Amino acid sequence: YEFFLAEVKTAQMLQAWLDETYEDDIHEQFGVGAGDIRRKVNTAEWLL
């Protein structure tokens, strides 16, 4: 169940990034750093 919640959080974070939310706001809301955001975005781009 925790793995599922982590995946939902990642999806929500990516959606916020796609909606052009400021990185500082994403950091506050999801507790991730700029490097984590970039890594997840790069992975998502690679998958698509």
CB 13 within 8 A of CB 2: no
* Structure tokens belonging to residue 1: 């169940």
Structure tokens at 3: 């793995």
Domain count, the chain: 1
pLDDT tens for 1-47 read: 989 999 999 999 999 999 999 999 999 999 999 899 999 999 999 98
pTM of the predicted model as reported, rounded to 2 decimal places: 0.83
The domain containing residue 6 runs over which residues? 1-47
Which contacts of 7-14 are long-range, i.e. CB under 8 A and separated by 24 or more positions?
10/40, 13/37, 13/40, 14/40, 14/41, 14/44
